[in-house]
Structure 1
Amino acid sequence: MVLPLLWALAEKTDKQTKFVRVFSVLHVLGGVIEIGNKMLVVKFGGSSLANGEKIAKAAKMVAKKLKEGVRLVVVVSAMGKTTDKLLETVDSALGSKAKPADVDDILSMGERTSARIFSTALKSLGFKARYIDPQSEEWPIITDDSFMNAEPILDKSLDSIRRNLLPLLENGVTPVVPGFIGKTVDGRITTLGRGGSDTTAFLIAHALSADEIILATDVDGIMTADPKLVKDVRKIGELKVEELIGLTNSGKKFIHRKALRYKPEGIDVKIVNSARGDLDVDGTIIKGSFPRDLSASIHESPVVAVTMVGKELSKASKVMLDLFSKLEEKGIDLLGMSIDHDSLIMYLPENAVRDVLEGFHEVVLKSDRVLALAVSPKLALIRVRGAYLSETPGVLNTVSEALYSQGLNIYGVFTITSSICLFVEWGRRVEALKTLEETIKQLRLEEEALRKDNKPLT
């Protein structure tokens, strides 16, 4: 009874749009009725498609899942280093004379060629497949006109993905989508910048409520350290997005920060090595999400800063160990810490600091390096977060100036994993938060202006 009723409610729409609406409602209803089998979005990176042999192996990996009844959307990067070579060729031939819109049209040919070859490979294995070209009406990713670093228009892209890809999947056709590419509302080809193919995969998974996103690469997953620097590294089984961003801030681009802005909250990402020849192989699972835009929030309770001064404290490893031991004994969370040559500051919950002060003072008396400690008044911890933070120039300076202009003193600051942590007077926390929110809004407007001028942010 449910399906005919929903179909009737959508009667005034065209057949394709009607299907999308009915499917979406059924997905929301969940337990009422279930359509289709498990759905995956699989992205193959350039190293996994570098030659014909690798493309054939990748197609067989997809074919194996299709035989199991899994529905897939395949996203492909350009083969090997094609994009870099195209860029070098354009630069060599035209230099600065090339218009960004023309460059994007040229660069798109790498992914578009990969999609054609991959869909043909799937057909040769006996499966129905269709490559989706940005010149077709079925194109799913809609962006602004910031050529060479375009930003997806989220609502338009999600709607276009559902409208164009769901009917193909329902008819047993596997869509093969070129990653990295977008198209403006008026039909001009754009590119999404570094990490663009991952962004494509994340958007498609979001729109289709996929069960999982698989990124097929040339590594077994994310390791405990860089194997070029450290011996005996191990694969990490699971990571949160926030932890991953901390690693990308070190310069290692497992998944580009821009792409992580679009990772859906409830859909896991698995990084696997395509050389293994099986999408079911173990890899690293990425969970959770991170704020797409900059945001500011206040820690729920007051904080104090315990400052210790002395001589060459940065060399006093025994002092550090003793202080951490005192915190562990009392079960107190360390909210943050900063250190220079002759001093260190520990930021602790205000309601717990008395429990540990005597222990800290014992460390001071025992050490010939520490002279004294002091405790600040009640402070508020305000955290400014965003996956794009480290790639937005001047944010720390802008935030500091905004607070200064309102007569708000900053009692401490440190940055980590795409976050800026600021400490201000507890009694003025609401005023400080409002100031930061207004500043963030202004930064967003400036970012949009830069995009309209086609100036990449990276």
Structure 2
Amino acid sequence: MSAQPEPVSIPPHQPRLLVMKFGGTLMGSSRAIRHSASLVKRSTVLGTLVVVVVSAMTGVTNGLLKLADAAEAGDIAFANDEIAIMRNRHFTAAQELGAAPDSETVREIREMHETLRQAVYGVYLLRELTPRSRDLIVSFGERLSAPLMALALAQDGLKSHHLTGGQAGILTDSHFGNAKPLPTTYTRVKDRLDGLLGAGMTPVVAGFMGETVKGAISTLGRGGTDFTATIVGAALHADEVWTWKDVDGFMSADPRSVPRARTIVQLSYGEVMELAYFGAKVLHPLAVTPLQDHGIPLRVKSAADPDFAGTLVVADAVTLPGQSVKAVTAIKGVSIITVSGAGILGVPEVVADLFNTLARENITLLMVSQSSSMSNVSLAVQSASAERTVAALRTPLAGRQLQVDIQEGVAVLAIVGAGMRGTKGVAARLFGALATEDINILMISQGSSELNISVAIEEKDVDSATREVHGAFGLDGDVPA
């Protein structure tokens, strides 16, 4: 009698999993939220599992920062008026989305606004707004929008459950205002969201925030909802992360400065990080970092045209022959701080002290250059951080024969593209384009990755410079992948 073959075990089919992020404009009103919810349903009706990550309603984050500053300055009346306006806006949206006056959603919104009012009053009493307090206050934007998205999904027949970033498992360090996730975050997020997905729920995560080991609310920096989405995507090993925007994807330049800018079909993780770092506001600069280890694609899609593919971000994006540069981007509002003098000559620890001090103060450097004589070091920072940077440098500079100068009204322009690697003449074309517009270069930097060349120029010249450089690299026509 012949032996019977062992039965083959066929693993069950795993449904497709997407993480969808919706920005402030797409959460800005009941109508916008309803449309965003419909984009989620487009996928769920096909059997796709979706985790939703939401930003605050348009303008709410800026409003929260403004009222927090007003409370610190003693203007509690203004702060309370702003809270009342904000409360009315969220109540109205909830009502228009179908919430009854005695519903759980309305009760949650009322309780959160009361907690916000108490937090702001504490700042007013102390006349002190610490980074930790600021994070607590500014987090209410996303915490208030998450129940609204859950409500809209319920109206579309989807079971959902909303969570703060901390409740979803995002654990961060204590760099309030610009926190980073701790390694344990990914296991925590998977444990907490897998259960909801398994129960047929669509989780709605309030973006931009996490919590510290001690349970304090922390934020991931402006634009941090993108970061939340990719952290969740990496934790769940999602098939893709989709970030819905009110634009068609990454553009070859800011269309407000360059009307002939076009959508870029495909970018690499490295190209996206360079673009985001140097001023393209489509994504948080660190957004793709959680996805790299797992090779998870990220797609930037237009909510107005959901059938359009948008920009796909992958490990190895296609670069066509002769396409050295894919995009031109710029950061405005920059200052150059130059440290110079005999006290820096031949004293390497001075430079080390400078960078150690800036790291402790969590100050981001956009560009760095040092003269060949080592007699000066120039640092490009956002103008909003310039005074804080100079103040931070006073300690390591004390007692040395050094001078600090600040040049304001600066912008950083960068060209980005993997095709620049090993391609001769790229810098010459950049400098030639700037010379055509008679633009003076203040600083120059090229990364060792050869993905970008950046230059500091006067801010008044940046729009004309961007247009000229965009044309010089043949980006005024269709921009292929």
Alignment of 1:111-130 (within 5 A): 111-130=142-161
Q: Distance in 1 between matches of 2:302 and 2:71?
A: 36
Structure 1 pair 69–33 and aligned structure 2 pair: CA distance change class (3 A): same
**Cα deviation, residue 115, structure 1:** 0.6
The amino acid of 1:143's aligned partner reads T
Count how many residue pairs are aligned between Structure 1 and Structure 2: 281
Across the aligned residues of Structure 1 and Structure 2, the Cα RMSD in angstroms comes to: 3.3
Residue 48 (str. 1) matches residue 21 (str. 2): no
**Alignment correspondent of 1:251:** 279
Counterpart in the other structure of 2:310: 283
**Equivalent residues in 2 for 1:36-435, closer than 5 Å:** 36-95=14-73, 97-133=128-164, 138-153=167-182, 155-265=183-293, 266-276=295-305, 278=306, 280-288=307-315, 391-392=364-365, 415-416=445-446, 419=449
Query: Are the equivalent residues in 1 in contact too, given 2:19–2:242 (CA < 8 A)?
Result: yes
- Structure 1 residue runs of 5 or longer lacking an equivalent are 1-30, 291-327, 334-387, 402-412, 422-458
Q: Structure 2 vs 1, CA of residues 84 and 417 (structure 1 numbering), >3 Å: closer, same or farther?
A: farther
Contact 1:396 / 1:420 at 8 angstroms: preserved in 2?
Answer: no
Q: Secondary structure at the match of 1:161?
A: helix
Structure 1 position 415, deviation (Å): 3.3
Q: Closer, same or farther in 2 for the Cα pair 1:419/1:97, shift >3 Å?
A: farther
CA contact (8 A) 2:24 2:56 kept: yes
Identity level (%): 36
TM-score for the superposition, normalised by structure 2? 0.53
Q: Distance in 2 between matches of 1:39 and 1:399?
A: 53
CA contact (8 A) 1:44 1:77 kept: yes
- Relative to structure 1, is the Cα distance of residues 392 and 125 closer, same or farther in structure 2, using a 3 angstrom cutoff? same
Output the CA distance in 2 between the equivalents of 1:220 and 1:81. Answer: 22
Deviation at 1:67?
0.9
Larger of the two Rg values belongs to structure: 1
Q: CA deviation at 1:139?
A: 2.8
Name the SS of the counterpart of 1:122 in structure 2.
helix
Post-superposition Cα deviations, 1:265-309, rounded to whole Å, max 9, x if no partner, equal 411111111123x3x43201111299xxxxxxxxxxxxxxxxxxx
Cα distance in 1 between the residues matched to 2:21 and 2:132: 25
For residues 34-53 of structure 1, the C-alpha deviation after alignment (integer angstroms, 9 at most, x for no partner) is: 45300000000111111110
Deviation at 1:90, TM superposition (A): 0.6
Query: Residue 337 of structure 1 corresponds to which residue in structure 2?
Result: none
1: CA distance, partners of 2:200 / 2:253: 42
- Check 1:82–1:398 CA distance in 2 against 1; reply closer, same or farther (3 A cut): farther
How far 1:180 sits from its partner (Å)? 0.3
What TM-score comes out, normalization by structure 1 length? 0.56
Q: Distance in 2 between matches of 1:286 and 1:98?
A: 38
The Cα of 1:235 is off from its aligned counterpart by 1.4
In structure 2, what is the Cα distance between the partners aligned to 1:98 and 1:236? Answer: 42
User: Hey, what's the Cα distance between the residues in 2 that align with 1:249 and 1:187?
Assistant: 30
For the structure 1 residues 289 and 160, does the alpha-carbon distance in structure 2 shift closer, same or farther, using more than 3 Å as the test? farther
Amino acid at match of 2:446: I
Judge conservation of contact 1:119–1:129 (CA < 8 Å) in 2: yes
8 Å Cα contact 1:263-1:289 kept in structure 2: no
Greater mean alpha carbon deviation, residues 96-105 or residues 124-133: 96-105
- Deviation, 1:134, is 5.1
